[in-house]
Structure 1
Amino acid sequence: MTPSVWADTAADLHRHFDTVVAPLWLGAGFDARMGLPHEALDQSGAPLPDVRYRAMACARQLFVYAQSAGNAAQAHAARLFDALPRYFHDRERDAWLFSVDAQGRALDPTQDLYTHAFLVLACATYFERSRDERALRHMLATARLVEDRFGDGDGLYYAALSADGQPVRGPEQNPIMHLTEAYQAAAGVAEPAWFEQALRRIADGIARRFLDPDAQCIAELPLGAADNRIEPGHQFEWYSLLQNAPRVYEGLALPAAVTRGCLWARARGVAPDTAGVCAALDLRGGMREATERIWAQTEYARYLALAGEHEALARQLARFKERFLHAQGWREVIAADGALMRADMPSTTPYHLMTAYAALRA
């Protein structure tokens, strides 16, 4: 494909986001009664019944609309920011709830690292756009909470704590990866030296405890854990994060290893005919889960764009548009043959679309 065809496809993706995806959550996807985004819509764009609202989902929506153009998007971002502490901050314990129920009452008081990472990211992004000092205070306070409560004593973090602060899940790659993303954003608005020092420590810990020496891929669980796996999409996501701040990671082992790991993941986890990225491989490269999730496709596109692989990117974008997008929204999970495997459209997915499309613009 020629560069002009690639540009045309990218323009179509941006247009679909601006005219289909983003408006969904300003309208039918927003629960005006609660002042929170619905958790998911059906394939026609109608909201599914809410049994819970998650802090992480609200934070991801804030991330999207804080960066969107127009007065309506900025007003929506302000609503979402106000909702986060109103529903999810437990002032008595100075903790963030994982979720509330359909009436807005505390449902799951688990202190979840993944959730905290997205709170830091969303507040950093909102502060950068709005200069609302409350967002900066929440960002810094949440980062301090992560450091004070979640540290595992070996340079990384527990994935979850109980309501009273006891570890209930050990370190996991995914929440630590998103904490990396959050700390990069935070370093752009406050205390860069502190956040950059934390980012180097995290990268060292990931290389030491999660990096498979043969595949050069980052496993989902620490090396030696039972039932471990490699998710190709996360290799591409790590590549993009490390490329975001090359100066911060200068001299560390992780960037070169992840570059090699992406090649390993592409050879085993990306279908040559459709460019579809599978969900998971085992540590030897065997197929563990062949379904294809939309977020992994967006991370592959972002990786190809940042790596400058324009021909592969042109092919991938065309197949992604054809297989995952439609006039009312998107397909969240499909089988390798294209059959729809999950019928809902979660409120968390626009975050993935936006980060990938931003790389295409760059």
Structure 2
Amino acid sequence: MTDVTQSGPIGDNREIVTALRCQVIGHALTLWSREGRDLQQGGFIEKLDANGNPDTSAPRRVRVQARQIYCFAKAAQLGWYPDGAEIARKGLDYMLAKAKAPDGKPGFVHILAPDGSVLNPLRDTYDHAFVLLSLATVYQLDRDAKVRAEIDELMQFIDTQLRSPDGGYHEGVPASMPRRQNPQMHLLEAFIAAFDATHDQAFQARAGDLFGLFSSNLFDAKKGVLGEYFEQDWSRIEPVSVEPGHQAEWVWLLKGFERITGCPTGKQRAALLESALRYRDATGCLVDEGDAQGNIVKATRRCWPQTEIIKAFVAQAESGVEGAADEARAALMRLDKYYLQHPVKGGWYDQFDGEGRSLVDTIPASSFYHILCAVAEAERVLGA
């Protein structure tokens, strides 16, 4: 039976990093290693119900399999959860066995049934970004040559099948429209992680190409907004949809790009963060969508944008920006207060409406990647 007791939100932001690290280690990793794995069929569960019980009938997105592999490998790497290494490797074995080329075609399929059969054979670029991220994170554990071979094989597919002559990467195979910044963003994240894992300069070069796309097309420097949807030639589709969570996410990623290349990104980071902060509600949380003029279009607010604004402020704090560390801690407090105080220890609320009512009655596994990464980055830069 899942423990549904709760102790209440943390009251002192000086202790917030330590407290959230303890929540992740003591509750979230335990919950998802126990209830979030399918010990009969293999792989990870897509979501838990409101009481913390696994939904074993839900289809399994391959991106979520990859995200959970990342979470347990990262937790093992940090020394938070030594058992995470074995859990990550078993998850990777499942993903490779079930999702990689089950129809004889290269690449990973999009969605699996609980029994491991293919529900959707699409080769989705967003998915492949997370497959690469998971492989890079597992590879960092012990530099397994077989994992490196999987990275190289995956990159052969990405480079030959997903690359677009118009710049960046297609939405998938088959290609579709509109083009989105989101897969490009997560490929940048994966390339940075792959460089950190392998020290292969080819990943620096790929990251540089995406930084060029960001600078020339994705980000409108005059308006200070990141576009979401584009035509084939990367011209913006009007009216421009703005997701403030993605603007915050790019702040953190640009700091990572600066770290591995030495290319300064401070100006772009400052502009992105300033713009993202326009889209907040009375709680101080980021809403889900705005327009290019700074107006709120969707007053709902999901969990993941709050983790990304934490990472954005952490990146700025690491760069020595005055007040950024305090802002990061305040954002961690908001994450705890509004999203992590779930009756199930180690669970979270996914989305609220403008009145603060929960809109999702399940606990999605997909959010764990965001939460764990935000807390890990906060500990790394701000200390526990």
Q: TM-score, normalised by structure 1?
A: 0.91
Question: Offset at 1:315?
Answer: 2.7
1:48 — aligned with what?
A: 55
1:299 aligns with 2:308: yes
2:213 alignment partner, SS class? helix
1:259 aligns with 2:270: yes
Per-residue CA deviation, residues 134-174 of structure 1 (Å, 9 max, x unaligned), is: 21111121122111111120221111222xxxx12343111
Q: Number of residues paired by the alignment?
A: 352
Comparing 140-149 and 301-310, the one that deviates more: 301-310
Correspondences of 1:153-168 after superposition (within 5 Å) = 153-162=165-174, 167-168=175-176
2:351 — aligned with what?
A: 333
Question: Quick one: distance in 1 between partners of 2:271 and 2:82?
Answer: 43
2:207 alignment partner, SS class? helix
Question: Offset at 1:249?
Answer: 5.2
1:169 alignment partner, SS class? coil
1:316 alignment partner, SS class? helix
2:4 — aligned with what?
A: none
2:191 — aligned with what?
A: 183
**1:130–1:331: structure 2 CA closer, same or farther, 3 Å change rule?**
same
Is the Cα contact below 8 Å between 2:171 and 2:183 reproduced in 1?
Answer: yes
1:352 — aligned with what?
A: 370
Question: Quick one: distance in 2 between partners of 1:261 and 1:296?
Answer: 14
1:37 alignment partner, SS class? coil
For 2:279, which of 250, 269, 280 is the aligned residue? 269
Question: Offset at 1:227?
Answer: 4.9
Residue type at the aligned position of 1:333: Q
1:240 alignment partner, SS class? helix
Question: Quick one: distance in 2 between partners of 1:54 and 1:317?
Answer: 28
Residue type at the aligned position of 2:254: L
1:210 — aligned with what?
A: 218
**1:161–1:228: structure 2 CA closer, same or farther, 3 Å change rule?**
farther
Per-residue CA deviation, residues 61-83 of structure 1 (Å, 9 max, x unaligned), is: 01011122344222211110110
Residue type at the aligned position of 1:313: A
1:96 alignment partner, SS class? coil
For 1:169, which of 177, 193, 215 is the aligned residue? 177
**1:331–1:248: structure 2 CA closer, same or farther, 3 Å change rule?**
same
Q: CA RMSD in A?
A: 1.9
**1:321–1:71: structure 2 CA closer, same or farther, 3 Å change rule?**
closer
Question: Offset at 1:251?
Answer: 4.9
Question: Quick one: distance in 2 between partners of 1:46 and 1:265?
Answer: 35
Is the Cα contact below 8 Å between 1:217 and 1:235 reproduced in 2?
Answer: yes
For 1:59, which of 58, 62, 66 is the aligned residue? 66
1:220 — aligned with what?
A: 228
1:282 aligns with 2:291: yes
Is the Cα contact below 8 Å between 2:289 and 2:298 reproduced in 1?
Answer: yes
**1:215–1:258: structure 2 CA closer, same or farther, 3 Å change rule?**
farther
1:245 aligns with 2:252: no
For 2:141, which of 129, 145, 155 is the aligned residue? 129
Residue type at the aligned position of 2:198: A
2:60 alignment partner, SS class? strand
Question: Offset at 1:336?
Answer: 3.2
Question: Quick one: distance in 1 between partners of 2:35 and 2:239?
Answer: 40
Residue type at the aligned position of 1:245: F
Is the Cα contact below 8 Å between 2:287 and 2:300 reproduced in 1?
Answer: yes
Comparing 219-228 and 118-127, the one that deviates more: 219-228
2:176 alignment partner, SS class? strand
Is the Cα contact below 8 Å between 1:98 and 1:108 reproduced in 2?
Answer: yes
Question: Quick one: distance in 2 between partners of 1:191 and 1:313?
Answer: 30
1:317 — aligned with what?
A: 332
For 1:230, which of 215, 225, 242 is the aligned residue? 242
2:326 alignment partner, SS class? helix
Question: Quick one: distance in 2 between partners of 1:345 and 1:159?
Answer: 27
2:119 — aligned with what?
A: 107
Per-residue CA deviation, residues 216-245 of structure 1 (Å, 9 max, x unaligned), is: 222111343145311111111111011113
Question: Offset at 1:49?
Answer: 4.3
Question: Offset at 1:40?
Answer: 0.4
List runs of 5+ in structure 1 lacking aligned partners: none
1:288 alignment partner, SS class? strand
Question: Quick one: distance in 1 between partners of 2:259 and 2:56?
Answer: 46
Question: Quick one: distance in 1 between partners of 2:178 and 2:334?
Answer: 38
Is the Cα contact below 8 Å between 1:232 and 1:296 reproduced in 2?
Answer: yes
2:267 alignment partner, SS class? helix
Question: Quick one: distance in 2 between partners of 1:32 and 1:345?
Answer: 19
2:209 — aligned with what?
A: 201
Choose between structure 1 and 2 for higher RCO, CA contacts under 8 A separated by at least 6 residues.
2
1:14 — aligned with what?
A: 21
Identity fraction in percent: 23
Residue type at the aligned position of 1:87: K
Residue type at the aligned position of 2:280: V
Is the Cα contact below 8 Å between 1:276 and 1:336 reproduced in 2?
Answer: no
**1:259–1:192: structure 2 CA closer, same or farther, 3 Å change rule?**
farther
1:37 — aligned with what?
A: 44
